[in-house]
A and B are shown apart, each in its own frame.
Chain A
C-alpha cells in the first residue's frame, strides 16, 4: 500500500504508545472517559464525533464514527444532519471572516 491513508492502520492506533506509553495511556483513558455515557448520551457523543471527523476530514475517524453511530442506533438521516452542522460551522467560519476582508478593503479603497 503506497498511500498516506491505509484503513488497516486504524486497528494499529495503540502502537502509538510504544515510545511514550504513559502519555498514550493517559490519552486513551481520557478518550474512553469522554465517550462514556454522561450528561450527553454515548449516541449523541458519537454524532458529535462524526461531525467533527468531517470538519477535520480525518478518514480514520469518519470510518470509525460511522460504525459507532450505527452501532448506537443512529440512522443515516441523523448522521447527515450532524454532517450539515459541521458544514454550517465550517462555512460560517469562512464567511464571517468576510467582515475582516470588507474592513480591510474599505480601509484601502477610496
Chain B
C-alpha cells in the first residue's frame, strides 16, 4: 500500500491553493490549563499545564479585536473558565464584537468554583459551545474521563435553567460531538435530530445547534493513534475523503488564532502543530489588522481532517 501523500501534494494534484479569504473571526486560546485531560485533545490540555494567557495579553487581544474590526471572538482553551482573567476578556469583547463564543467542556462551568460565571455569560449573551460527544456515558467518558457524563448533564441543566437553549431567550447553547475513537464523524443533521430527541426525552434538556467535528490527528489523539497502530489507517481514510469543495469553507480561510502567549496561527490545529501564521512567529501586538486576503495558509497532514467530506467549521 502506498504512503499517504502530503497535503500540499494533494492540493497541487487538484491544482488548488489554500489561501486566506476575508478574516472576520478572532479565535483566542486563553490557555492549556484544563480540569480534564481528554484523550482526543490536539493541544494536550490538562490540569498540569502551566500555559495561561495573562491579563496584559488579553488587553492586547481586545486592542487587536478593535483595530481589526472582527465580527466574532471565539474563546477556547484548555478550559477557558480556569483562566482567572476570563471575565476581563468577556466583558471587553462583548462591548466590541457582535458575537462572542465560549467553548466550554461542560464540567468546569458546572463546578462550584465557576458556575457563578453563568449569569455573566447570560447577561452578555455569550454563545456557549459545549462538548458532548455521546449519549452513552461509557463512550463519553472513554474520551473525556470518569464522571464527565453526569457532570455535563448537570451543566446543561444549569444552562437551560439560565435560559440557554430555550426558545426566545436569545441565549444560544450549541453542542459539539467528536467521535470517541478512530472513526469518522457521523452525519450532522441526523445526529442533531437524535441528540435532540434523546436529551429531551431522557433528561428534559434542550440545545440550539449541534456541530459534528472529526478528531484531528495531533497531540494526545495522535499519540494514541500511533500507540494503537491506527495512525496511518486513520489519516489514509481522511485523505481518501478529500473533498476539493470543502476547502472553500474551511475555518482557516476566515479566522486567525491567537495562542495563550499572544502569537498567531492560521487555526487552533496549526497552533498545536507549531505552524505560525504567514510562516514566521508573529505577535498580536505587531498586527495592524486581520491577515491579508490571499496570504497562503500553512498546511500539514492534519489538514486532511478539515478537507474530508463536508469539511470543518
Contacts and interface: CB of A to CB of B under 8 A. Distances in A.
Interface stretch (B27-35, B176-184, B251-259): B176-184
The 4 closest A-B pairs by CB, nearest first: A73-B186, A75-B136, A70-B183, A71-B184
A76 interface: yes
Interface stretch (B54-62, B187-195, B285-293): B187-195
Q: Is the interface of B mostly helix, strand, loop or mixed?
A: loop
A72 B179 CA distance: 10
B261 to A, nearest CB: 37
Interface of B: 134-136, 138-139, 177, 179-181, 183-184, 186-187, 190-191, 194
B161 to A, nearest CB: 28
Nearest to B195: A73
Contacts of B187: 42-43, 72-73
A73 B191 contact: yes
Contact of A70 (B177, B179, B191): B179
Given A70-B179, A70-B181, A75 B186 contact: no
A75 B134 contact: yes
Contacts of A42: 187, 190
6 contacts: A37-B190, A43-B187, A70-B181, A73-B194, A75-B136, A76-B139
Contacts of A96: none
A16 B181 CA distance: 32
A20 interface: no
B238 to A, nearest CB: 12
Interface of A: 37, 41-43, 67, 70-73, 75-78
A37 B189 CA distance: 12
A76 B136 contact: yes
Contact of B186 (A37, A67, A72): A72
A78 B136 CA distance: 9
A71 B183 contact: yes
Contacts of A78: 136
A18 to B, nearest CB: 20
Contacts of A37: 190
A67 B135 CA distance: 18
Contacts of B180: 75
A46 to B, nearest CB: 10
Given A70-B179, A70-B181, A71-B183, A77 B191 contact: no
